[in-house]
């Protein structure tokens, strides 16, 4: 119920079809930092969770900085195992952060070497993105699976 209320309050600026993972997934992308911030304040949450947890993939929205501007991150956080099911990877895939900006809407995809995405994993991911000072569009890879186990 709260998710429906928040989605209505945010008045999504664009519905975007994401083709990552070789599967079509429609998500309502938003760009209004003020709208998301107000909704989060009303709900008492730090981010908008759009998936059930734990899971191999979770969709979230949260605010942060990107190239000097406050933005809404429309994010997919997933396990490397989940990512590897739908994308070609090496035998020892790297964790990654991938950023794409379309019509001033920021999309973020994060692949992590964890068994499942849960609330602590999401919170650490948000902290990592907010603290990373040199984020830019494109893909950033780090920490091969064998080195993060």
In the chain, pLDDT over 70 holds for what percent of residues? 78
Q: Which pLDDT score is estimated for 91?
A: 77
pLDDT in tens, 40-56: 999 999 999 999 999 99
Average pLDDT over residues 120-129: 98
Classify strands 25-29 and 14-18 as parallel, antiparallel or unpaired: antiparallel
Q: Residues 28, 34, 39, 42: what is their CA dihedral angle, to the nearest 10 degrees?
A: 180
Q: Which pLDDT score is estimated for 27?
A: 62
pLDDT in tens, 22-31: 333 446 888 8
Q: Indicate the domain borders of the chain.
A: 2-148
Task: Specify the pTM.
Answer: 0.79
Average pLDDT over residues 121-144: 93
* DSSP per position, 10-62: H--SEEEEE-GGGS-EEEEE---HHHHHHHHHHHT-SSEE-S-SSBSEEEEEE
Q: Which pLDDT score is estimated for 28?
A: 81
pLDDT in tens, 59-111: 999 999 999 999 999 999 999 999 999 988 877 788 999 999 999 999 999 99
């Amino acid at each position: 119920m709260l998710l429906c209320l928040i989605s209505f309050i945010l008045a999504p600026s664009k519905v975007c079809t994401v083709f990552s993972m070789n599967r079509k997934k429609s998500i309502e992308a938003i760009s209004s930092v003020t709208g998301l911030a107000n909704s989060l304040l009303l709900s008492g949450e730090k981010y908008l969770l759009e998936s059930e947890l734990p899971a191999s993939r979770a969709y979230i929205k949260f605010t942060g900085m990107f190239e000097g501007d406050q933005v809404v991150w429309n994010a997919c956080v997933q396990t490397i195992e989940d990512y590897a099911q739908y994308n070609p990877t090496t035998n020892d895939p790297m964790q990654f952060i991938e950023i794409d900006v379309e019509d001033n809407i920021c999309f973020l995809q994060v692949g992590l070497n964890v068994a499942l995405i849960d609330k602590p994993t999401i919170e650490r991911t948000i902290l990592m993105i907010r603290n990373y000072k040199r984020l830019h569009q494109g893909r950033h890879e780090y920490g091969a699976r064998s080195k993060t186990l």
